[in-house]
Amino acid sequence: MKASDSLTIRGKVIRNRITMAPTVKFDYAGPDGKATEKHIDHYRERAEHGCGLICVEATAVSPDGRFWTNHMGLWSDDQIEGHAQIAKACHDNGAVVIVQINHTGISGNPELGTVIGPSAVPTRDPKVISKELSIDEIHRVQGLFVRAAVRAKKAGYDGVQLHGCHAYLINQFISKKTNLRCDEYGGSTENRARFGSEIIRAIRKECGEDFIISIRTAGIEPDVATAIEIAEEYVKAGVDMLQVSTGIEWEDDSLKEEGEPYNLIVKLGVKFHEHFKGRVPVSCVNSLYDPSVINYLFENDLVDLVDLGRPILADPAIVEAVLEGKPYVRCYDCPNCQYGPFMPHKCPAAMRRGVKFE
């Protein structure tokens, strides 16, 4: 396999194997959660440089499911227009584009509403205990995801990605640390995956057969075998693509590096690819700054797609560097890019290539 090979999912031809990972731009949206010109330009630029599949950043399915007030949403019809412009900017430049939809759950901000979760457990402010969702409330929150997906389709996106990792709501249903339920949404892997699986089925019903449904899921929770069992439930529900990252627990020391030129998070994606090969495309992510390593992954058939977060924020030309060996500015792996609403995101690599930050 080569990075330049195309891949067709649900009739959409992805022109190469490079994906932009969802990376939220906290300073771009206002409290109304609408996409801005900055978002449109940001995604257009990544498409112009040849990125095959763009996954637009975590987008809240309800105001209380935001990270912070300046965070994009798809909870209301008046947010569709801005997303339509992002989708058009990507399509006009040859990329397939999906949007990540999310609810923060117990990782939410108490200032934005009651912090909800699968169970009553300490939240990111240990003095605040989350409110355990009743079965009716679970169905209501699942409906928020489905309606956000319907809006995404109306905006012209090719699909959605469910945010099922990084300790947000769908992931909180998976981990036994945050899901203490004894009903049909807790206990067995099938039950813990039910929250996400039912959302997948409902989105397929509402958005149709030509709509891509991807899930970003934990490659280890608490071990790789269990994480794969969970992903099998999502596949049974009809998911088209698995993007593998991290979750809440990591209790598996069988993954030691054996001189591989990539880290253990990428290795989770490699393990998933081994398991799902030929059935469901799998992508991997994390610290893939070097075109040679990215090409190594494809040449050795270790993954189907490679997601780039910080490297493509630093310089979208990394796509042309992978595909054509052109020059690019390498991500500095610096603390400026830490994930948080108050970080300035003044990327020194981008500044080196002439980007001016306010």
Ligand X SMILES: Cc1cc2nc3c(=O)[nH]c(=O)nc-3n(C[C@H](O)[C@H](O)[C@H](O)COP(=O)(O)O)c2cc1C
Residues of this chain that interact with ligand X (CB under 6 A) are 21-24, 57-58, 100, 163, 166, 216, 245, 285-288, 308-311, 337, 339
In whole angstroms, give the CA distance from residue 30 to residue 349: 26
In whole angstroms, give the CA distance from residue 350 to residue 311: 10
CB–CB of 71/26 below 8 Å? yes
CA atoms within 13 A on the CB side of 357: 16
If you ran DSSP here, which 8-state letter would residue 329 be given?
A: P
Which token pair is 263? 């880290």
Q: Which amino acid is at 223?
A: D
Enumerate long-range contacts of 184-193, CB under 8 Å, 24 or more apart. 185/118, 185/135, 185/138, 186/118, 186/119, 189/226, 189/229, 189/230, 189/233, 190/233, 192/230, 193/230, 193/233, 193/234
Instruction: Work out how close the CB of 183 gets to ligand X at its nearest, in angstroms, rounded to a whole number.
Output: 28
| Of 191 and 288, CB closest to ligand X | 288
| Of 309 and 316, CB closest to ligand X | 309
Instruction: Work out how close the CB of 188 gets to ligand X at its nearest, in angstroms, rounded to a whole number.
Output: 26
Instruction: Work out how close the CB of 67 gets to ligand X at its nearest, in angstroms, rounded to a whole number.
Output: 8
| Of 155 and 288, CB closest to ligand X | 288
Which token pair is 197? 């699986």
In whole angstroms, give the CA distance from residue 260 to residue 72: 37
| Of 14 and 285, CB closest to ligand X | 285
| Of 24 and 181, CB closest to ligand X | 24
Instruction: Work out how close the CB of 182 gets to ligand X at its nearest, in angstroms, rounded to a whole number.
Output: 30
Q: Using alpha carbons only, what angle is made at residue 225 by residues 224 and 228, rounded to the nearest 5 degrees? A: 85
Cis bond upstream, residue 222 (ω within 30): yes
Instruction: Work out how close the CB of 265 gets to ligand X at its nearest, in angstroms, rounded to a whole number.
Output: 7
Instruction: Work out how close the CB of 308 gets to ligand X at its nearest, in angstroms, rounded to a whole number.
Output: 5
| Of 203 and 308, CB closest to ligand X | 308
Residue nearest to ligand X (CB): 309
| Of 117 and 311, CB closest to ligand X | 311
